[in-house]
Structure 1
Amino acid sequence: MKLEKRKLVDHTAPNRSTGIVNGRSSNILNWDDVRFSWAYPKYKRMLANFWTPFEINMTKDRQQFQQLDEAEKEAFLKIIGLLALLDSVQTDYAGRAADYLTDSSLHALMIILAQQEVIHNHSYSYVLSSVADKKTQDQVFDFWRSEPILQKRNDFVTEGYIAFAEEPTIDHFLRSIVYDVILEGLFFYSGFAFFYNLARNQKMIATSTMINYINRDEQLHVGLFEKIFKEVLRENPEYDTAELKEYGRETFRKAAELEIEWGRYIIGHKIEGIQMNELESYIKFMANKRAEQLGFEAPFDGYRKNPMRWIIAYQEVDLGKTDFFEQKSRAYTKASEINGFDEL
């Protein structure tokens, strides 16, 4: 079934939407009269996460970057390059998805999500401009063209989006959400582990603070797409097939293998404090968690416990008080079961 774009205004439709996709809505948003009860709480949580890169003082990181060893510098720059590419693609995908969500509250959430992805992408530029010269910055933002392993990973996601972009059907939309959850909930995680490992060794703490904010946003984004995925299937049960479930399980398996390959290349046995066998287990653990969030079977037998428990201390930061990473006092929402950190 082809997806119909939402109308700018529909005078004859109710304000409360009649469907998540291919429904009708006036497109007038009244938060007290929305189809999905979880939309407004999700909206408040996303607003509570607001931040900008300018708030983070990079002075110490500028000094420390030159003191990193060569393996750490290479990993730092290439991981930033990877994140910049994926979040650029994600901004575009969120806008395309918003065009076909005929519920105005979910359309609004998708616009906020896209804006947060723009902030994430800006944060990578901000970090690079703080620690590297212009020539290095330009090289980092071109890694996606020149690094074969990066190309393979990135093509995996972008090719997963293309079918939906070129032929927006319900089936293609559902499958594109699988790739979205992979991008935001799996492909970033070895990179996040690298930055958190630097922080626990008192290195590049401002950058790790920035990564923490991005990580927290991505948790909410994964939760939003999980809700949308399940609501689309609930309203269109004919698409909830064994074929889709097998597709999802196999896609998460392939994604985990690509993430492990990237981890071996960029971290391997070169980064003190990260054991490659633990990182591989962590990636499989996350792949199982994400697959099951969407209702698929876990792609890997076992891997039910997080083998890198130390990461939790860097993700579950109480941002309602003084920042763990010794930045300025903030007024953000405390990490909790509500905003997603129970998943680890």
Structure 2
Amino acid sequence: HWLWTEVPMIEDIKDWKNVLTDGERDFLTKVFRFFTQGDIDVSSAYVNTYLPFFPTPEIRMMLSSFAAREAVHIAAYSHLIETIGMPETVYNEFLQYEAMAEKHDFFHGLAEDQQENIAVKMAAFSAFTEGMQLFSSFVMLLNFTRNGTMKGMGQIIAWSINDETLHTESMIRLFREYIIENPELWTDSLKKRIYDIAEKMIELEDAFIDLAFGVNDMSKQNLSPADVKAYIRWICDRRLAAMGMKEIFKVNVNPLPWVDSMLGVTRTNFFENRVVDYAKGALSGSWGDVWGQAGTK
């Protein structure tokens, strides 16, 4: 468990105001325009789609905890936006961009009134939205930390990646168990729907990546649109394989190995290079003091 209040943001404010170029600030603003909304869409899937459908208490507890973590992510991103002084238009302008609006509309256009459609939604939201499209933004944001700036943002992203990885792996496991219990659903028709959605969501993400980079000079960041597009295809193939399906993009090697190296130590506070394991905010005093005070009352 972690909270955004545990992340120091002073250096990020300095980076935003004094270090980043206008193009880099525009890039981050565009990414955050949809990034926060993407997490809202994922959270709504847990509450509005999955919870009403799965009655098992253990599954419902898992889904509820995941939805709660998404709320923490949304609050953390909003805190980051406000703290560094990113324009308030970030909150309401994302639908003015066609590439962003199409992603949002695609999520909400998926039917959910049949057993097969629930399987499709698990693939679309958990494997390809939470498990692929959000990782596109993660990489574009984390790259700033790789280059020595926006380290508080990088910590928030690192913790979010840890959460989203757990969510994705757990939901894919639920997907497979759901198919095992309903084998009549596992038809060529369902598989084609999932493959088509994977390809469509890659297409939508490509457009978003192009929008984010735009005409900005991002040469200092050593990351190109082609790099991110290759990475999401690699991620998408991993998600398909985990669901028991064939890889369709044939990207067999991670095109951005630095991501794994930055996140190689689980839950590492990499800008201080120490393991935190979701460390809580620093506490002052000792338990002896607490019990001593309690005993005097």
TM-score under structure 1 length normalisation? 0.75
Alignment-mate amino acid for residue 8 of structure 2 = N
Q: Could you tell me how far 1:279 is from its partner in structure 2? A: 2.1
Match of 1:9 in 2: none
- Measure the CA separation in 2 of the matches of 1:265 and 1:152: 13
Match of 1:307 in 2: 255
Q: Return the match for 1:213 from 159, 169, 185.
A: 159
Cα pair 1:291 1:297 within 8 Å, conserved: yes
Identity %: 21
- Measure the CA separation in 2 of the matches of 1:270 and 1:315: 27
Higher relative contact order (CA 8 A, sep 6+): 2
Does residue 147 of the first structure (1) align with residue 97 of the second (2)?
yes
Alignment-mate amino acid for residue 125 of structure 1 = S
- Measure the CA separation in 1 of the matches of 2:83 and 2:91: 15
Cα pair 1:229 1:294 within 8 Å, conserved: yes
Q: Return the match for 1:271 from 185, 193, 218.
A: 218
* Change in 2 beyond 3 A, CA 1:105/1:282: same
Cα pair 2:266 2:277 within 8 Å, conserved: no
Q: Return the match for 2:81 from 125, 128, 137.
A: 128
Cα pair 1:56 1:327 within 8 Å, conserved: no
Cα pair 2:179 2:185 within 8 Å, conserved: yes
Match of 1:253 in 2: 199
- Measure the CA separation in 2 of the matches of 1:284 and 1:318: 24
Cα pair 1:185 1:222 within 8 Å, conserved: yes
Q: Could you tell me how far 1:267 is from its partner in structure 2? A: 2.3
- Measure the CA separation in 2 of the matches of 1:79 and 1:280: 15
Query: More helix by proportion, 1 or 2?
Result: 2
* Change in 2 beyond 3 A, CA 1:145/1:280: closer
Match of 2:231 in 1: 282
Give 1:140-179 correspondences, 5 Å limit.
Answer: 140-160=90-110, 163-164=111-112, 167=113, 169-179=114-124
Q: Structure 1: state its 5+ residue gaps.
A: 1-49, 334-344
- Measure the CA separation in 2 of the matches of 1:159 and 1:326: 43
Q: CA RMSD in A?
A: 1.8
Q: Could you tell me how far 1:262 is from its partner in structure 2? A: 1.5
In the alignment of these two chains, the number of paired residues is 273
Q: Structure 2: state its 5+ residue gaps.
A: 280-297
After superposition, give the CA deviation of every residue in 1:219-243 in whole Å (9 maximum; x if it has no partner).
Answer: 1111111011111111111101111
After superposition, give the CA deviation of every residue in 1:5-47 in whole Å (9 maximum; x if it has no partner).
Answer: xxxxxxxxxxxxxxxxxxxxxxxxxxxxxxxxxxxxxxxxxxx
Q: Could you tell me how far 1:61 is from its partner in structure 2? A: 0.3
Match of 2:267 in 1: 319
